[in-house]
Amino acid sequence: MLPWIVLGIVILALNLRTPIIGPTAILPDIQEGTGFSAAGLGLLTGLPVLLFALATPLAGKFITRLGAEATVLACLSGVLLGTVLRSVGPSWLVLAGTGIIGLAITLGNIVVPVIIRREVPWEQVSLVTGLYSAMMNVGSMATLIGTGPLAAAFGWRWALAAWGGLAFLGLGFWMVLIRVRVRREGEAARAAAAESADDPSLTEAAAPVVKPSWAEAPASFRLIIALLIITFSGQSTAYYVTTTWLPSYLGDTIGLAPTAAGGTASLFQIAAILGAFGVPLLAMKTKPWVPVAIVAVLWLSLPVGLLAAPGAYWLWATTGGIAQGGGFTAIFSIIARTAGSDAQTASASARVQFGGYLAATLAPPFAGWLNTATAGWTAPLLLILAATLAFTITGLLAARRAGGFPRGGREVLDPD
């Protein structure tokens, strides 16, 4: 079943960024068709990220109560419903569909680490998490490349609706996957019951499966999660500020044309795939803190490089892009490796993502205000530097402590 589970994670990952990236490629068309103001257009991309933060605690409870499989189906159904509503209705329905998409993706953001912790062997957790992170970036790039031509050929509504096909595909795949899994588990349970009937001692010897909740998590695990909240907040601040303002910075500072600036911003996104796969490869051959340290150096190179040598902007966009893909993989690999149950994974992931996406919501407008207030880009770059320093310090502390946790969340000696 593992290869099919991994394929299911890949399909789910493609649906977790595509719906919110699509509108960014055709904002002028959407504005013309709906009459949105600049603030309304901002909601098309900002509202989902805000909901990632605000709805994350509820998503964690949803997963704990209804289970991972039901959550996956709810996520993909919500993405499909929101995509359809956003593509067929007036302006208020466009925003309503966007909100539904944001809520649905929040469920997906939280449930993937739960599935990885439960289904993937401990030694492959980082690799599958990296694949998940990479596929989100692949989905983003495919959407950026494909939405414009689709809109030119069929109109902006059909261009956005077309990406709902991924959600429809994912929904069908996961329904079949869950059905096969339920049938196999039923057969295994009947076989175990028959075996127990033949040998009653097997029933007496069977111990109940213990699934500790967040309240039962050890203090050492809670400390790791507290550190990761700060780490992911630094990661999200650096990523979303760079994504939002890098083209403007390049235009103002280097004098790049919009096309060239957009290409550099795309390089920042594409390079993330290298980081997503690089961290698992390093994790297999080094101590747990080493990949985090390398990612931290690459993250720090982005603001320091843009401040000290802005002419080499393509290099800093590449190193920063590798860092943002690797940082995401490292953070959520630590959660999956150290949590002791699905409930702990969901709660930990919800806490980390709440902090990170709240920072993602607040940081880009703050960086824009800093640019306006100081009439330059030094202050926004210093904000990115502070965020990457926070990532460095707390990420290394969390990785060092997580090195003492085998799969199952029980701490052992020798955190190295």
Residue 75: which of 67, 297, 270 has the closest Cα?
67
Across 6-20, 29-43, 114-128, 381-395, the highest mean pLDDT is recorded for 381-395
- Do 151 and 268 fall into the same domain? no
- Do 84 and 101 fall into the same domain? yes
Q: Which amino acid is at 158?
A: W
Q: What is the pLDDT of residue 415?
A: 42
| 416 or 13, higher pLDDT | 13
- Do 144 and 276 fall into the same domain? no
Measured CA to CA, the distance from residue 289 to residue 304 in angstroms comes to 22
Q: What is the pLDDT of residue 312?
A: 94
State the pLDDT confidence band at 412, using cuts at 50, 70 and 90: very low
Contacts of 316 (CB under 8 A, 6+ apart): 301, 302, 305, 306, 309
Domain termination site, one of 206, 236, 264: 206
The answer to whether 335 and 349 have CB atoms below 8 angstroms apart is yes
State the pLDDT confidence band at 45, using cuts at 50, 70 and 90: confident
Q: What is the pLDDT of residue 79?
A: 96
57-100, pLDDT tens digit by residue?
888 888 888 888 999 999 999 999 999 999 987 889 999 999 99
- Do 89 and 27 fall into the same domain? yes
Asked if the model's pLDDT at residue 186 lies above 90, the reply is: no
Ramachandran angles phi, psi of 411, nearest 5°: -75, 140
248-272, pLDDT tens digit by residue?
898 888 888 877 877 788 888 889 9
Measured CA to CA, the distance from residue 245 to residue 295 in angstroms comes to 22
- Do 247 and 360 fall into the same domain? yes
Asked if the model's pLDDT at residue 409 lies above 70, the reply is: no
Length of the chain: 416
Q: What is the pLDDT of residue 402?
A: 85
Domain boundaries, position 276: 215-416
User: CA distances (Å), 76 to each of 60, 103, 406, in order?
Assistant: 17, 11, 32
- Do 191 and 237 fall into the same domain? no
The answer to whether 51 and 106 have CB atoms below 8 angstroms apart is yes
In DSSP notation, 217-255 reads S-HHHHHHHHHHHHHHHHHHHHHHHHHHHHHHHIIIII-
Measured CA to CA, the distance from residue 313 to residue 246 in angstroms comes to 10
- Do 329 and 235 fall into the same domain? yes
Q: Tokens in use for 97?
A: 């569909």
**Number of domain units in the chain:** 2
- Do 202 and 220 fall into the same domain? no
Domain termination site, one of 165, 187, 206: 206
Q: What is the pLDDT of residue 381?
A: 96
Mean pLDDT to the nearest integer, 39-51: 83
Q: What is the pLDDT of residue 408?
A: 52
Measured CA to CA, the distance from residue 87 to residue 102 in angstroms comes to 15
- Do 331 and 222 fall into the same domain? yes
Q: What is the pLDDT of residue 330?
A: 92
- Do 251 and 202 fall into the same domain? no
- Do 188 and 280 fall into the same domain? no
- The CATH number that applies at residue 250 is 1.20.1250.20
Asked if the model's pLDDT at residue 193 lies above 90, the reply is: no
Hey, what long-range contacts does 143-151 have (CB within 8 A, 24 or more apart)? 143/17, 143/18, 143/21, 143/22, 143/25, 144/21, 144/24, 144/25, 144/266, 144/269, 147/22, 147/25, 147/26, 148/25, 148/26, 151/25, 151/26, 151/29
- Do 143 and 167 fall into the same domain? yes
